[in-house]
Structure 1
Amino acid sequence: MRYEEIEPRAIFRNFYEINQIPRCSGHEKAVSDHIKNWAIALGLSVKQDHVHNLIIRKPGTLGYEQSAPIILQGHLDMVCDKTPDSTHCFDKDPISLIVEGDRVKADRTTLGADNGIAVAIAMAFLETREIPHPPLEVLLTTNEETGMDGARAVQRKDLTGNTLINLDGEKEGVFLVGCSGGVRVDVRRAITREEASGQFYRLSVGGLKGGHSGADIHLERGNANRILASVLCSIKKSVPFRLIDFTGGSKTNAIPRDAKALIVFDPALLETVQRVLDKSFKEIKNEFRTSDPGLWVSGEPVTPQQTAWSVEETDGFLRVMTALPNGLLHRSADIPGLTETSCNLGVVSTEEAAVTCHASVRSSVTSRKSKVVDQFLAIGALSDSQIITHSDYPPWEYRPQSRIRDIFVESYTFLYGKDPIITAIHAGLETGLFTETLGELDMISIGPNLYNAHSPDESVSISSVARTWELLKEVLRRLK
């Protein structure tokens, strides 16, 4: 099946069109301009702000002209990640759409269904002349994935609606009514380089599943940065070495799937290093045999380098990487099975004079989030590391009375004869920021079945998109 034949055709046509335009987080101008011009051609009112957010207005259909406006919201950007063997260039190449059965996926890259499917659904409502609906205000934000800067820039004066439907959910029939807050934490350590000689050796970790640092963190999959640091610590017990480079992960909000380190040591100890590496790999392979059966660790001699970190800086960095919080930290006492607090050591990058670990902290309890930050600050003070916090955003708290939630539940039960799941999510949604920037709103978040978001294995269910489309049409019909 070709994408042009997929139903609902309007949605997948729009999805294909926006996937022809590179739209990594922070680089949404081109796709924003494209949709702005598209909406103007339809005769719709459009506002594009300084960060390329879009607000597109469409009047209510016959009989709905005086109904209260409804805000449909999604984000334009996507996480850009690919497999090591992919030659895709996110700066210029379109995202391929591959249809396999009921799924649409990409070719060894993220698909961008998070949140391109939401954009495509909103565009389908804007262009239709056949579906009854109240006045619509489509809000498409930018840079959601790396700081929610678009949501921060939205101003209340530009919107009249008091009910918002966020389309960033990832499970059909699961209605989100709350989300975690979060903050980014950077741990930066200065390094000085000294002349190096000896056996130069590269260690690599890969084959991990990765995934979304919020929605998948409860699966307790392996973190490549933490695993590589653990391997290095095992070697350090038997063989003195100095680090030259440590690099891992690609996005702070994605569980890192691979990492690499370059070390130097006494050439006479090469056999010992390889023996310790083999033993360490067997232990780690067993530890992650269920969550990450594809995990591999390798080591190989490489071309000599000129400089390396000092022994003290190497040891200090490995102590910090061992001490930093990572993974699922607390489960919710209120909602069974929900992760309450977590931390993801998403990216480690090495520069000439510094090494930095970039972490994402999430919690639905503000005080718990603060305590994790305090833990970072304590580790920083004890290890002479600089701690930088940024991109802080609040949680979206559960609202006991919600008209939009009630209508969604009634519509879902009417269409499918069963009750939906009402829950919260351990991930940052823009709805949390909207509670601050837009004031009191009646909100809900929904979406079709989306799998492995933020990874090259990302895919979306075709039939689930179709059912989500039918649900939204029924909800808007009832909002008269």
Structure 2
Amino acid sequence: MSTEIRALEPNALWNKFADLNAVPRPSKKEERIIRFMKDFGANLGLETFEDEVGNVIIRKPAAKGMEDRKPIVMQSHLDMVHQKNNDTVFDFDTQGIEMHVVDDWVKAKGTTLGADNGLGVATIMAVLESETIEHPALEALFTIDEETGMTGAMGLKGGILKGEILLNLDTEEDDEIGVGCAGGVDVTATRTYKEEETPEFKIGYKITVKGLQGGHSGMQIHEGLGNANKIMNRLLFDGFENYGLRISEIDGGSLRNAIPRESNAIVAIDSVNESTFESEINQLVDVIKKEFKTMEPDLGIEISRTEMPDKIMDLGVQEGFTRALYAACNGVYRMSADIKDLVETSNNIARVIVKDGHIKIGCLTRSSVESSKLDLANTLRATFELTGCEVEFSGDYPGWAPNMDSDILKVMVPIYERLNDGEKPHVAACHAGLECGILGKNYPDMDMISFGPNIKGAHSPDERAQISSAQKYWKFVLEILKHIPKA
């Protein structure tokens, strides 16, 4: 681990982040990080335990003189999104994240950084370890599997936590205090199809879409970033309409909560159309690149000859499939009528797989309004069912309704203004999925708030954490802990 990271200020925060990033912690494979956190708490002599689903809870008594304050919960999730650049050789299951400093930013070398939500976890670790920080009685709640289903938050039973205030450290703008978030549901369309033998007169092509920025499918869904699955389908649709292109395989996107950066397809066309196909599709490539030149300057689309595939998709199924993907909503569906500039409802066409007679299309639909979430999910369902797909809704989790009368909010706003020369924080709901809404189901009386340092490009290899912002955030944390209201 680079010594330059450990030398950064605040030293306590960055050292714990470096310790954390040395431990592989993919979603669904958190055994090592759970053990790491339990050992960390036990070595401090603090009450430490793991609940039934794998969440780790560490309790620390109040600092001297703070015994009369309301007990609090500090909460962050242990898992991280694993994404890497196509040319980066890295094994997330065995390697720690390789970090370096670029100007005012900490970045990883070709992979996601894990600042989401590793900086939150590191903050709590630093507070637990400190003998000088003033704080009330606190419970550290480290949840698992936030990124792929929030099963840790969903599995946390009522009655385990004793705190009255929850500080969620999973917001990615340091001038924002989060008071609400979107809920979500996975919409998955599947079907089987008959494969056909590829006729001898056809030739094979490989089409690759790459170089897109990707990013967080909630926080960045409104930015107009390219979706590799939608761009690929546009190419396939055009090739089919004009040159009878036939699909053999598609592998696009990766994680449900990441805007797809890459897609690959193997296709076949009639050999007599070779030159005209290449000419026209490259004209379309130029058109698409011009459309995205501002937001996606590194977009690459490659069309190259390859071996003719043995099998191709049934013609009727292919026609319905490409039309359904064209029609399916991707991006913002509705803006909030109540909160300015807030995306209310959106969809991310995250994963498209076509291979060996099976189609799978995975979407993550988000909304801060439950009825609107269901409306969009049903819109997608109807679109895909018209093509013969079976559609399943899963992983449904609720949003977090804003509470503008929150007592901890009333404490935090004046602290922020005092620390930042009178500047007012942005008190807002976000379009990401935070665990507060889920935790609130079993802890309805707990006062919850969310905040954090500046993190850009989360869920992509461009993820980076701002050093100066971490310093600003750390001071904010210390002042909040010092001014928790009396019980």
* 2:359 paired with 1:370: no
* 1:58 Cα offset (Å): 0.2
Q: Which runs of 5+ in 1 are unaligned?
A: none
User: Which region of structure 1 is more displaced relative to structure 2, 219-228 or 294-303?
Assistant: 294-303
Instruction: Give 1:35 shift.
Output: 1.1
Which residue of structure 1 lines up, in the alignment, with residue 301 of structure 2? 297
Q: Deviations over 1:294-339 (max 9, x none)?
A: 2121101102322121211221210111111111111111222111
8 Å CA contact retained: 2:195, 2:314? yes
Structure 2 unmatched runs, 5+: none
Equivalent residue of 1:328, what SS? Answer: strand
1:235 equivalenced with 2:239 (yes/no) = yes
Is 1:466 paired with 2:468? no
Post-superposition CA distance 1:86-142 (Å, at most 9, x none)? 000111111011111211110000000000000000000000010111001110100
Alignment match, 1:421: 426
- Counterpart CA distance in 2 for 1:254 and 1:10 is 30
Distance 2:314 2:156 in 1: 48
Offset, 1:67: 2.2
Helix, strand or coil: the match of 1:454? coil
CA distance in 2, matches of 1:229, 1:452: 25
Secondary structure of residue in 2 paired with 1:35: helix
* CA RMSD across the alignment: 1.2
Q: How far apart are the structure 2 equivalents of 1:293 and 1:97?
A: 25
Which secondary structure state, in structure 2, belongs to the residue aligned with residue 245 of structure 1?
strand
Q: Distance in 2 between matches of 1:257 and 1:333?
A: 31
Amino acid at match of 1:337: D
The question of whether the paired residues in 2 share the 8 Å contact of 1:180 and 1:363 is answered with yes
Question: When the two structures are aligned, how many residues end up with a matched partner?
Answer: 480
Identity %: 38
Distance 1:459 1:200 in 2: 40
Structure 1 letter corresponding to 2:4: R
What is the rounded CA distance, in whole Å, between the counterparts of 2:177 and 2:411 in structure 1?
A: 12
TM-score by length of 1: 0.98
> Which residue identity lines up with residue 190 of structure 1 in the other structure?
T
Q: Which shifted more, 294-303 or 137-146?
A: 294-303
Deviations 1:129-160 (A, max 9, x none): 10111001110100000110000011121101
Superposed CA offset, 1:39-83 (max 9, x none):
101000011123221111000011112322100000000000000
Q: Which of residues 138, 141, 145 is equivalent to 2:140?
A: 138
Amino acid at match of 1:96: E
TM-score by length of 2: 0.97
Asked if 2 retains the 8 angstrom alpha-carbon contact of 1:256 and 1:347, the reply is yes
2:269 matched residue in structure 1: 265
Spell out the pairing of 1:318-357 with structure 2 (5 A cutoff).
318-357=322-361
> Match of 1:266, as an amino acid?
D
What amino acid maps onto 1:87 in structure 2?
A: V
Of stretches 350-359 and 382-391 in structure 1, the one that deviates more from structure 2 is 350-359
> Which position in structure 2 is the counterpart of 1:16?
18
CA contact (8 A) 2:100 2:109 kept: yes
1-side partners of 2:104 and 2:291: how far apart? 34
Q: What amino acid is aligned across from residue 427 of structure 2 in structure 1?
A: I
* Number of the residue aligned with 1:172: 174
Runs of 4+ in structure 1 off by over 6 angstroms are none
* Structure 2 residue 153 is the aligned partner of structure 1 residue 151: yes
SS of the equivalent of 1:318 reads helix
> How far apart in 1 are the matches of 2:436 and 2:277?
50
Q: Which residue of 2 aligns with 1:75?
A: 77
CA distance in 2, matches of 1:413, 1:443: 20
Task: Note the C-alpha offset of 1:407.
Answer: 0.7
Matched, 1:395 2:403: no
